[in-house]
């Protein structure tokens, strides 16, 4: 089983990635971690977008430009490790989503504006931690869940969230220990 762990955690001592790696371990299988900060995937400015469109029109789906998209479409399980930033997630994760959500690799268009998913994954996990309270799940997890269902055909999505890690007086080691115990005990 191929597990793709998409790591959008920027801080060196990230709590989110610690939990996501525990989850990957628990799920079992071959884990490939894509560390977005290291990958330095570029946003879609004018020229790269034009280049990409030319390749797509020519049907050059095996071009290196689409390596991340093919890797994403081939995974059996996807884990997004995404700290809670500004009510949502780090911008590098959005750039990654724009990079992988490629027509004819991640999905294709069918008749009457329909979308036909082409991704193999059966499950997607969204792991996040926050400093305070997550005011609305829909800006992070909810958005990714919608993408998963609509474009990628992944019906089963799970949210694993741990809140209050920067709150005054928070016993961070205890909160983390408890979260890890939950991940280990859960039957996903």
Ligand X SMILES: Cc1cc2nc3c(=O)[nH]c(=O)nc-3n(C[C@H](O)[C@H](O)[C@H](O)COP(=O)(O)O)c2cc1C
**Site residues for ligand X per CB under 6 A:** 9, 11, 14-16, 83-87, 129-132, 165-166
Nearest distance in Å: CB 86, ligand X: 5
Q: Measured from the CB atom, is 21 or 123 closer to ligand X?
A: 21
For residue 120, give both structure tokens. 């193999």
Q: Measured from the CB atom, is 15 or 21 closer to ligand X?
A: 15
Nearest distance in Å: CB 36, ligand X: 13
Sign of CA pseudo-dihedral 176, 156, 143, 4? positive
State residue 167 phi and psi, 5-degree precision. -70, 150
Nearest distance in Å: CB 100, ligand X: 21
Q: Measured from the CB atom, is 12 or 40 closer to ligand X?
A: 12
Give the C-alpha separation, 68 to 95, whole Å: 12
85's CB contacts (< 8 A; 6+ apart) are none
Maximum distance among all Cα pairs of the chain, rounded to whole angstroms: 58
Q: Measured from the CB atom, is 78 or 162 closer to ligand X?
A: 162
State residue 56 phi and psi, 5-degree precision. -65, -40
Nearest distance in Å: CB 146, ligand X: 20
């Amino acid at each position: 089983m191929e597990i793709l762990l998409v790591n959008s955690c920027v801080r060196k001592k990230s709590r989110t990635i610690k939990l996501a790696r525990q989850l990957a371990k628990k799920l079992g299988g071959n884990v490939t971690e894509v560390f977005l900060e290291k990958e330095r995937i570029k946003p879609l400015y004018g020229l790269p977008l034009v280049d990409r469109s030319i390749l797509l029109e020519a049907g050059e789906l095996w071009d290196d430009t689409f390596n991340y998209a093919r890797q994403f479409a081939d995974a059996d399980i996807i884990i997004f490790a995404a700290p809670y930033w500004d009510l949502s997630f780090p911008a590098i994760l959005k750039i990654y989503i724009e990079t992988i959500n490629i027509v004819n690799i991640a999905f294709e268009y069918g008749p009457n504006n329909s979308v036909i998913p082409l991704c193999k994954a059966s499950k997607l996990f969204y792991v996040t931690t926050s400093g305070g309270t997550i005011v609305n799940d829909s800006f992070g997890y909810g958005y990714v869940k919608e993408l998963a269902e609509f474009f990628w055909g992944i019906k089963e999505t799970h949210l694993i969230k741990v809140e209050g890690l920067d709150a005054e007086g928070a016993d961070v080691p205890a909160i983390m220990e408890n979260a890890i115990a939950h991940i280990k005990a859960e039957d996903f």
